[in-house]
Structure 1
């Protein structure tokens, strides 16, 4: 489908103001780039597309369009793992939407956001740190880890992300100002072994860094 030019053909609908068309366009693009790094990178560097996604992330009257825009932003990062894509999304103001997505009521969306944010922190932290700070990511991660209702994969990915954020002096200070060690040490006895192991690793990292 990619080699047949489907992506280019559907991108013509970016100008559409009709929510059902926007929704289908976003879903089609998200499926097209699934595990297709080259396509994800090509689309993720398309400034017009990314700016339109950021605009639709604020389409509060159309929850479906808003949700799909967030998911496509996240997917562009997750499948491309590209610094250029991350920079394009930072410059277009997309970071705050990925942070908000991490607070979604849907676990799948929360998880997709956390994985994308961890890639941002690993690949392009210096570029994104100010946006991550103003979106209050560290406070949100503290809340996700403290909340007993958070799914195991959310707790795991939140801890992976906290470790990645320690590379930023700005965000490191925020992590230190909140009692992360207390929250993380409680998770060492979590019933999920993967969460418990990550809690031990995160606790060691926090202890060393403090």
Structure 2
């Protein structure tokens, strides 16, 4: 797997059914195998007027977590980016679009453009990441009330493979949240708008 890829694109299809997490060896795309060609699992990400057609590999939870923690994914673009209305020069002078005239676009490239209002970047959370966090929250809720945890056996396995839970007892089955799980919930809390 190429670790040289600096920016990776994320798939948009949900990870459901028999689909698995895939990584394109050529372009670095990560997503559900449901977005690949059916016959030979090649990458269909747009590259100009064509597709990547790179070979893909199924990746496990450890590789996915490594990529998520490394910040290797493209950052989401700011939505609703407004047009600049003025330019701030290095000497502190500010000229409006009307004052700059026809050279306003050039001024914006060489000096600091100013906007009427700055929009906050929009965070994009993948559907499977939302599901992982919701199951981890449910685990925390049930465990803190000393209730049986009702997330399903499959999710205990997934959260354990991701390193968010640790099985500490076999019979009766007993899990505890790891420091990594607590950190993931704290990050989710901090990123949740109030």
Q: TM-score, normalised to structure 1's length? A: 0.25
Output the TM-score relative to the length of structure 2. Answer: 0.27
Please state which structure has a larger fraction of its residues in helix. 1
